[in-house]
Amino acid sequence: MRTIACLSLSGGQGKTTAALLLGRTLALNSSKVLVIDADPQANLTFYLGHQVAPDEPTLLEVMQREVDAVHGIYPLRYANLFLIPADNALNKVQDYLATSGMGAVVLRRRLEPVVNLFEYCIIDSPPQRTQICLSVVGAADFILIPVEASTKGVNSLLRSLELVEELRDIGAFSGQVLGVLPFRDRWFGRSQAKESRDAIEAMRQMAGDIPVLPSILESEQYKRAIRQGQTLSEMGLADLQYPFEKIIAQLDARR
Ligand SMILES: Nc1ncnc2c1ncn2[C@@H]1O[C@H](COP(=O)(O)OP(=O)(O)OP(=O)(O)O)[C@@H](O)[C@H]1O
Ligand SMILES: [Mg+2]
């Protein structure tokens, strides 16, 4: 199993959008994919149309080792796609992680029993630098950093790269940053908005050797895709699907 975490330390940067569409695309390409909602906001769980029943184990129970990971995994209405869901109660895991001593390795540990069941695992993370976030990075082989094509996005990139390096420093992360994914890149016909252009240029400078991937354009079509439970390619929008094809190409290149 190759685990990819969508990380970005600010709200509204495209983490959930990227996790959802990447997971769906990989599953459509017939890989068996586990997606994990590690955000107590539970947007990914909601977008995937999964309702958490009151007695149903979620990521909380998996992380606290109340159930084995396999019992927290649910099939979805999409072929090849499985979910460890979240709900607001996931916030309770913060204390558990903080007192466990090595919170950053907890999620990796919990997923060990299922590594042979899936080809890919995609994790959506919360926007804050919480214990959950550290544990998500610790579980990842690859980090994908979606960031809005704006000053706020550039700041989010900076803080996300810092977090990754800190965890690398203490030995909790030994993977690779797959790429920076500019989000809501604005174009007017054939000309790019100045704010988008400047922000993406700043991202390139900051990213160094890390690839800056083709952008997710500002477009209602992505929201429609999420609402309708479709990928952009299923909607016949191959150009908007392109960033996800590039991410998969990056994954293939790093085998
Ligand atoms: N291409 C797009 N253009 C404009 N808006 C978009 C696009 N794709 C998604 N959105 C909207 O942007 C918002 C933020 O996206 P998303 O939820 O993926 O970000 P996030 O980083 O997961 O946010 P949070 O930090 O709150 O979890 C959502 O309301 C989503 O519907
Ligand atoms: Mg989100």
Pairing state of beta strands 2-6 and 187-188? unpaired
Q: The whole model's pTM is what?
A: 0.98
Q: Which ligand number lies closest to the CA of residue 37? A: 2
Question: Ligand 1 atom 23: the closest Cα is on which residue?
Answer: 12
pLDDT one-digit tens code per residue, 37-96: 999 999 999 999 999 999 999 999 999 999 999 999 999 999 999 999 999 999 999 999
pLDDT at 114: 98
Question: Ligand 1 atom 11: the closest Cα is on which residue?
Answer: 223
Over residues 97-106, mean pLDDT: 93
| 101 has pLDDT over 90 | no
% of the chain beyond a pLDDT of 90: 98
pLDDT one-digit tens code per residue, 160-214: 999 999 999 999 999 999 999 999 999 999 999 999 999 999 999 999 999 999 9
Question: Ligand 1 atom 8: the closest Cα is on which residue?
Answer: 222
State which of 45, 159, 183, 219 you would mutate to test the pocket of ligand 1, scoring each by most atoms of that ligand within 8 A of its C-beta. Answer: 183
Q: How far is the CA of 90 from the centre of ligand 2 (A)?
A: 14
Q: How far is the CA of 37 from the centre of ligand 2 (A)?
A: 9
Choices 3.40.50.2300, 3.40.50.300, 3.50.50.60, 3.30.470.10: CATH for 2-253: 3.40.50.300
One-character DSSP codes across 165-226: HHHHHTTS--SEEEEEEEEEE-EETTEE-HHHHHHHHHHHHHHTTS-BPPPEES-HHHHHHH
Question: Ligand 1 atom 10: the closest Cα is on which residue?
Answer: 223
Residue 228: pLDDT band with limits 50, 70, 90? very high
